[in-house]
Amino acid sequence: MLLSSMLLAPLCRAFALVGAAVALVTGLLTTVSVVMRAGWSQPIPGDVEMTQMGIAFAISLCLPYCQLQRANIIVDFFTQATSERRRQVLDALGNLSLVVLYGLLAWRTSVGALSVREAGETTMIISLPMWWAYACLAPGLALAGWVALVQGLSGFSSSSQEVAA
Amino acid sequence: MMSWAPQLGLAMFVAMVVLMALRMPISAAMFIPGLVGYWLISDGASTLNFLKGSAVARLTVYELSVIPLFLLMGQFATQGGLSRDLFNAAAAWVGHVRGGLAMASVLSAGAFGAVCGSSVATSATITQVAYPEMRRHGYKGRLSTASLAAGGTLGILIPPSVPLVVYAILTEQNIAKLFAAAIVPGILAMLGYLAVIGLYARARPDMAPLTPALPWPEKWAALVKIWPILGIFLVVFGGIYGGIFSPTEGAGVGAVLTLLVGLFKKDLKLPGLQTALLSTAETTAMVFLIFLGADMMNATLALTEMPKMVASWVSGLPVAPLAIVAAVLVLYIALGCVMDELSMLLLTIPVIFPAVMALDLWGLSYELKALWFGILVLMTVSFGLIAPPVGLNVYVVNNLARDVPMSETYKGLVPFLVWDIGRLLVLLMVPSLSLWLVGALFQR
């Protein structure tokens, strides 16, 4: 468990840096396209499609880092009076519930990718294969699920071992 | 439709609230009851089939790309030192009046809000530059932290605004028009906060000692330094309202411009760039994970037809329509006190929006009613950010100003909250305050 958590932190950080950088690249693409449209009435073809896919990819890559940082929003108002230990168990259960969310979505999105690829769907303007949009979400979702699983399981062991953030 | 579907919808709501109270992350607390409900109403195969496309359907919404891009823009502005320049300029001009440094923090938060769509980011960045100055000049904790927390809400009250984008997408409204509708109420909020600080400082001069005025050349020098912010704002909003690009494209242009300004000023270096990317990643994931959870819940609620039933029930109530809207706003204020504001919108707007739209309010058209209601909801969101027991902005500010107890900040916030309520009432009674700018910009 320790070894995996030592590897997890840098991996999540790398995913997040790439994710935010991809978002920035779509911003750059949009800017160039806007300038070309204003100056030469000739935007970059398919800029909207590329932005859609790029941002979806970017968001999925950001998920593991947010999970690693335990930055997902919880309501702690009603459990302020309970003991530290009980809160720890509740948080571990909370992380396991997120495993369900990430895991199901990673699995089903991958299945979706396969069936969309078979159908051969493409985007309208520059004919990007639609299954890319599905497939690129899976790594981020899966890694986030793995982080949540490690956090959830380590929360039950009494020596509350944190995943290095 | 099965006869027990509405009861199932209710049961899902109850389950969600219980799970949330038990510290389950909000996204999962919405996702899991939604998932079980979907399974019960349809069957396993349809549920798995729905999940195949739901994440892609949400994450590839073109308009939603403004959220990471506006967040990126705010982060570049923070790491690029733009907030420091803004605060210095504001302090140079108003710092010498009674309570002037607190006013300067509100003014700079308002200006920063024009390039940043998040109130947490605005509070954090302005606190980092303004709090040490206020402390150095002998300002008392309560006034400083309360002004910073209240000022931080201008991050969302003044466009761009992440909650407004979320509202626009949930209700299929035009983002540019919603931003236009937010401008006058946002400026009103800022002027009110300035007035509150002025009265506060006059009543308790011990809280805000006077500081000497700067000579004129220094004032002008400080003002000149904020041209990049002004430039970015003019390009982004000029472009959106001049019809050169859409709000979605404006967010991309804004992020790139802010990055360039930071690099050009040489304030944005590699560590800052890395921090900006990581913070953007964290907030982006947080927001979209809530989206994914809420989608599951809302898909099931739509199957139960609960939103339709609530709408017809509400419009049949023998109560004045305005009283119903007021009741909804009170509900939002109450909810916002205990839960996160974004999840509150995602969860309630699909149910409450159709109900409100079915009412006759001031004889407004559907679109104007939707814009006006959006602004009212935004005000309640900002209220929740600074109201006890869990005001997110208060946490952020006190985390950076550790020598001030949180209870002191809440005490200091009372007059600001009174102004928030007063403003909400005025906006409720005078829709044209929100709507006239929309008319002026879009009736061509």
Closest CB to B28 among A28, A79, A94: A94
> Is the model's pLDDT at A2 over the cut of 70?
no
ipTM value > 0.85: yes
Measured between beta carbons, which residues in chain B are less than 8 angstroms from residue A33? 249
Return the number of other C-beta atoms located less than 10 Å from residue B282's C-beta.
Answer: 21
Q: How far is A3 from chain B (nearest CA, A)?
A: 23
End-to-end CA distance of chain B: give it in Å, rounded.
47
**Nearest Cα residue in chain B from A26:** B252
Q: How far is B436 from chain A (nearest CA, A)?
A: 29
pLDDT of residue A164: 40
**Nearest Cα residue in chain B from A94:** B24
Q: How far is A36 from chain B (nearest CA, A)?
A: 12
pLDDT of residue A5: 66
Q: How far is B147 from chain A (nearest CA, A)?
A: 24
In our burial notation (b when 16+ CB lie closer than 10 A, e otherwise), range A14-46 reads ebbbbbbbbbbbbbebbbbbbeebeeeeebbeb
Q: Do A141 and B55 touch (CB under 8 A)?
A: yes
Q: Do B282 and A105 touch (CB under 8 A)?
A: no
Taking only residues 246 to 285 of chain B, the set having a beta carbon closer than 8 angstroms to any beta carbon of chain A reads 248-249, 251-253, 255-257, 259, 274, 276-278, 280-285
Percent of chain A having pLDDT more than 90?
A: 43
pLDDT of residue B376: 93
Return the number of other C-beta atoms located less than 10 Å from residue B217's C-beta.
Answer: 8
Q: Do B32 and A19 touch (CB under 8 A)?
A: no
The H or E element containing residue A59 is helix A47-68
The CA-based diameter of chain B, rounded to the nearest angstrom, is 76
Test mutation, B23, B288, B343, chain A, max A CBs within 10 A: B23
Measured between beta carbons, which residues in chain B are less than 8 angstroms from residue A53? 60
* CA-to-CA dists, residue B199 to B185, B317, B416, angstroms: 21, 42, 11
Confidence of residue A159 (pLDDT cuts 50, 70, 90): very low
**Nearest Cα residue in chain B from A60:** B285
Mean pLDDT, chain A, rounded, equals 85
Q: Between A115 and A163, where is the model more confident?
A: A115
* CA-to-CA dists, residue A100 to A108, A152, B13, B50, B346, angstroms: 12, 12, 19, 15, 21
> Is the model's pLDDT at A4 over the cut of 70?
no
Q: How far is B48 from chain A (nearest CA, A)?
A: 7
Give residue-wise pLDDT tens across range A50-81.
Answer: 899 999 999 999 999 999 988 888 877 788 88
pLDDT of residue B2: 59
pLDDT of residue A30: 92
> Is the model's pLDDT at A116 over the cut of 80?
yes
In the A/B pair of chains, how many CB contacts fall below 8 A? 215
Measured between beta carbons, which residues in chain B are less than 8 angstroms from residue A72? 25-27, 286, 289
Nearest alpha-carbon partner for A47 in A23, A27, A30: A30
pLDDT of residue A142: 92
Measured between beta carbons, which residues in chain B are less than 8 angstroms from residue A137? 55-56, 59
**Nearest Cα residue in chain B from A99:** B28
Measured between beta carbons, which residues in chain A are less than 8 angstroms from residue B270? none
Q: How do the residues of chain B divide into helix, strand and coil, expressed in percent and rounded to 5? A: 80, 0, 20
> Is the model's pLDDT at A162 over the cut of 60?
no
| Dist. CA A21–CA A27, nearest whole Å | 10
| Dist. CA A92–CA A153, nearest whole Å | 7
Per residue of chain B (444 residues), give pLDDT as tens: 557 777 888 888 889 889 988 989 989 999 999 999 999 988 888 899 888 888 888 888 888 888 899 889 889 988 888 888 899 999 989 988 888 999 999 999 999 988 888 888 899 889 989 999 898 888 888 899 999 999 999 999 998 888 999 899 889 898 999 999 999 999 999 999 999 999 999 988 888 888 888 888 888 988 888 888 889 989 988 888 888 888 888 899 999 999 999 898 878 888 889 999 998 999 889 889 988 998 898 889 888 888 778 878 887 888 888 898 999 999 888 888 877 788 888 888 888 898 888 888 888 888 899 999 999 999 999 998 898 877 888 988 988 888 888 888 999 999 999 999 999 999 999 998 889 898 888 875
For residue B331, give every residue at least 6 positions away whose Cβ sits within 8 Å of its Cβ, in sequence order, or none: none
Q: Between B213 and A105, where is the model more confident?
A: A105
**Which pTM value belongs to this model?**
0.86
